[in-house]
Amino acid sequence: MLTLSIAGRSHAGCVREHNEDCIDWWCGPDGDRALVVVADGMGGYAGGEDASRMAVDLCMARLPSVLEGAPADAGTLAEALSDTFLAVNAAIREARESQPDQAQMGTTLVVALVAGDRAMIAHVGDSRCYHWTGDCLCQVTRDDTVVQNMVDDGSISAEQAGRVPFRNILTKALGAEDDVQPTIAQFNLRPGDGLLLCSDGLAGALDSGRWPAHLSGAPEQAVDGLIQASLDAGADDNVSVLWLRADG
């Protein structure tokens, strides 16, 4: 049986006055199941803050109950994730229509459900999930961005991707269209593994090759170390990090 421990922190960064990222997490009373959520809002700071908060609140309201009780099968977890993303999308669409000054609001969303040794990840946008396997920090999510499409079709290199001016343009966001399906991935966790969820501000400030050095030690320490290193590097975007460690 894995025992999960979680820490998270969100910071406005060195330049921005507002933090449009929003994070939260839930860990079951026996420490063997968990929900972690990161959202990065957009559409003017008020709209961005509202959109990411709506996304996180809906996840926290709907998903813990799916994890409680007898372990749910993969199909049930995936359906709950898809339904929740649809509910977030609908709520933001409604807010956009009723508040003309927030007509551009939207958000990314990445969610991890952990039950037993199963991890299921759903995402829309460029907030990411990485799977730490003890020697590799493997990116599980594929950014829904124009730049990622260009890297994949060979138009630009991965090295160029971090520098192009349109690197933040998303191909998919919650609130942007009537129907948005998350991309869902699942894999098993082993003792010593971890999940790192983050907004794009972390990779923007700090090369991902430098992240593993911060991941040993208590989860709070890992998160504080990553945030501080991002601030030391001059983080020009909001930075959010959630770190879930699975111990045997």
Name the residues that contact Ca ion, by CB under 5 A: 40, 199-201, 237
Kindly tell me which of 119 and 223 has the beta carbon lying closer to Ca ion: 223
Nearer Cβ to Ca ion (182/201): 201
Rounded to whole angstroms, the Cα distance separating 246 from 148 reads 30
Q: Residues 200-217, buried b or exposed e (16+ Cβ, 10 A)?
A: bbbbbbbeeeebbebbee
**Shortest distance, position 200 Cβ to Ca ion, whole Å:** 5
CA–CA separation, 31 and 246 (whole Å): 10
Q: Toward Ca ion, which CB reaches closer, 119 or 198? A: 198
- Residue closer to Ca ion by CB (options 119, 201) is 201
Nearest Cα neighbor of 15 from 200, 168, 201, 145 is: 201
- Using the minimum distance from each CB to Ca ion, give the nearer residue, 107 or 199: 199
Q: Which residue type is seen at 12?
A: A
DSSP 145: B
Is the dihedral angle over the CA atoms 186, 38, 42, 221 positive or is it negative?
negative
Q: Strand locations in the chain, DSSP E?
A: 3-11, 21-27, 33-42, 106-107, 109-115, 118-124, 128-132, 137-139, 183-188, 194-198, 239-247
Cβ 39 to Ca ion, closest distance in Å? 10
Nearer to Ca ion among residue 33 and residue 172 (C-beta): 172
Virtual torsion, Cα 54, 56, 57, 59, nearest 10 deg: 120
The amino acid occupying position 132 is W
